[in-house]
């Protein structure tokens, strides 16, 4: 597991419609405003991606830094969900073998633009979420 100094940061694909909806989903439910967000296309997001070994031109995962540890793919999604109020029950999904969880994650990730679409430019969040964006 990679260490990173900033905590509770979600790295996402800013041109991916599905990924941007994920950020809105998290921001809406994150009543403690714990998580901050950075698009992989931003200068900070590109630095994170490079540090974590993610191809910023063709990202195949989101990532989250939580507790100083970087999580990828299904671990990232489940880690974020498990911290949100009312979503702690998703921790049981960690019992599903990681290779199986990541295979499903990768299938969606590979087809996300075809299924959900792609923005021409990076998704611009509303003012409340924008205050939590790291550029």
Burial class of residue 4, CB neighbours in 10 A (0-12, 13-18, 19+):
middle
- Can you tell me whether residue 105 is helix, strand or coil? helix
Whether 80 and 19 have beta carbons less than 8 Å apart is answered as no
pLDDT at 64: 94
pLDDT at 4: 63
Whether 81 and 64 have beta carbons less than 8 Å apart is answered as no
| Alpha carbon distance 4, 105 (integer Å) | 23
List, for residues 3-41, the tens digit of each pLDDT value.
566 889 999 998 888 888 899 999 999 999 999 999 999
pLDDT in single tens digits along all 135 residues of the chain: 455 668 899 999 988 888 888 999 999 999 999 999 999 999 999 999 998 899 888 888 889 999 888 999 999 999 999 999 999 999 999 999 999 999 999 999 899 888 888 887 676 666 677 777 777
Q: Is 86 left (phi over 0), alpha (psi -120 to 50) or beta?
A: left
Looking at the DSSP assignment, which residues form a beta bridge with residue 69? 3, 66
| Alpha carbon distance 65, 48 (integer Å) | 10
Please report, for residues 82, 85, 116, the alpha-carbon distance to residue 89 in angstroms, rounded to integers and kept in the order given. 7, 10, 27
Q: Which residue is associated with the tokens 């990679």?
A: 2
pLDDT at 31: 93
Residues 6+ positions from 9 with CB-CB distance below 8 Å: 35, 36, 37, 38, 48, 64, 65, 134
């Amino acid at each position: 597991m990679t260490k990173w100094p900033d905590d509770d940061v979600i790295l996402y694909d800013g041109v991916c419609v599905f990924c941007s909806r994920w950020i809105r989903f998290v921001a809406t439910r994150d009543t403690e405003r714990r998580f901050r967000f950075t698009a992989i296309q931003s200068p900070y997001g590109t630095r994170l991606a490079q540090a974590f070994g993610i191809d910023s031109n063709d990202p195949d995962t989101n990532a989250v830094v939580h507790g100083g540890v970087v999580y990828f793919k299904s671990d990232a999604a489940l880690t974020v969900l498990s911290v949100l109020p009312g979503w702690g029950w998703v921790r049981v999904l960690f019992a599903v073998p990681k290779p199986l969880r990541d295979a499903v994650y990768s299938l969606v990730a590979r087809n996300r633009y075809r299924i959900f679409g792609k923005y021409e430019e990076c998704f611009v969040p509303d003012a409340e979420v924008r205050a939590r964006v790291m550029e």
